[in-house]
Amino acid sequence: MDKTLIFESRFESGNLAAALKVNENDYYLALQNDVNTSGNTQWFFFRVSNTKAYSQVRFSMLNLCKPDSLYNEGMKVLVYSEKHAQEKDIGWHRSGTKIAYYANGIRKDNCKGYKTLYSMTFNYEFEYNDDNVYFAYCYP
């Protein structure tokens, strides 16, 4: 049975450019630039499917642009699980563990020189098999 997560963001406000499976429980994510900016990236919104109950996964977004984030002050990722919403009548909620935001050593060339990029990593444990789970920076 293939445990690889399936990523999707071809919907309104979705902005995942690529996902790379590092190992069974670890994924690197690259985001598209935020709309109407000069190449900044801070927003994220994507869906994951092919989930397995009780499996914990680490997501690492690699190309964020701000030098600091509310994630360093305790903010959590916004999550919407279709099965959680159906069974417990709980929609969007904050979740995730081991959340970190930091400079990652990757540099992006822009017209004014090089800009340091930042990563945001978090762990998430899926509650249901074959669920559709959405992750976002804030309410879409």
What residue segments make up the domains of the chain, in order of their start?
Answer: 6-136
User: Model-level pTM?
Assistant: 0.93
Mean pLDDT of the chain: 92
At a CB cut-off of 8 Å and minimum separation 6, what does 36 contact?
none
- Distance from C-alpha of 49 to C-alpha of 45, rounded to nearest angstrom: 14
CATH number of 6-136: 2.60.40.3120
- Distance from C-alpha of 90 to C-alpha of 112, rounded to nearest angstrom: 45
Output the tens digit of pLDDT for each of the chain's 140 residues. 688 999 999 999 989 999 999 999 999 999 998 777 766 788 899 999 999 999 999 999 999 988 899 999 999 999 999 999 999 999 999 999 999 999 998 887 765 666 789 999 999 999 999 999 999 999 98
Share in percent of the chain as helix, strand, coil (round to 5): 10, 50, 40
Q: Which of 104, 123, 126, 128 is nearest to 115 (CA)?
A: 104
DSSP element (H, E) containing 65:
none
Q: And the tokens for 67? A: 């030098």
- Distance from C-alpha of 86 to C-alpha of 73, rounded to nearest angstrom: 31
